[in-house]
Amino acid sequence: MIQETSKIGKRGAFVIPSSLRDRFGLEEGSVVIAEEREEGVLIRPAVVFPIEKYSKERKAELLLSNAINLDDYNRILVEIRAMGLDPESIPHEKPTA
C-alpha cells in the first residue's frame, strides 16, 4: 500500500502524489469524493453520470412508447393531453393488444 505525505495549500488544496494519481487513474478535472471517517478524511474517485432533463415532449414520447396495452395507452393519452400536448405529434408506436 502506497503512503506519501502532502501539504495543504491555499483554500484547502493539496496535491495527490503522482504515484497515487496514476494508480487510480486520476487526472486534472477528475471528480473525487471526500468522506469523513473516524480516523480522518478518505479521498476516493467518484463516478459521475450526466442527467438528462426531459422536455414535456420527451416525457410524452417515453410514456407512449412504453404503454403495455391499449388500456394503458388510452390512460396515457389522457395524461399527455393534460400536459397540453397533442399525442399525434409525438413519435411513438401504438401497442397492438
Residue-wise pLDDT for 64-94, tens only, equals 999 999 999 999 999 999 999 999 999 998 8
* Same domain assignment for residues 41 and 63: no
pLDDT category at 1 given cuts 50, 70, 90 is: confident
- Domain limits for position 20: 10-45
Closest to 86 measured CA to CA, from 53, 56, 65, 55:
56
Tell me how far apart the alpha carbons of residues 2 and 23 are, in angstroms, rounded to a whole number.
10
In a domain, 41, yes or no: yes
pLDDT in tens, 20-34: 999 999 999 999 999
Q: Please give the mean pLDDT across all residues of the chain.
A: 92
Report whether pLDDT(97) > 80: no
In a domain, 95, yes or no: no
* Same domain assignment for residues 61 and 83: yes
In a domain, 63, yes or no: yes
In a domain, 21, yes or no: yes
The separation between the first and the last C-alpha atoms of the chain, rounded to the nearest angstrom, is 60
Tell me how far apart the alpha carbons of residues 27 and 42 are, in angstroms, rounded to a whole number.
18
In a domain, 31, yes or no: yes
In a domain, 82, yes or no: yes
H or E element: which one contains 37? strand 32-37
* Same domain assignment for residues 38 and 17: yes
Instruction: Calculate what percentage of the chain has a pLDDT beyond 90.
Output: 77
In a domain, 75, yes or no: yes
In a domain, 77, yes or no: yes
pLDDT reported for residue 27: 93
Number of structural domains (the chain) is 2
pLDDT reported for residue 67: 94
Average pLDDT (27-49) is 93
Burial of 50 (0-12, 13-18, 19+ CB in 10 A): exposed
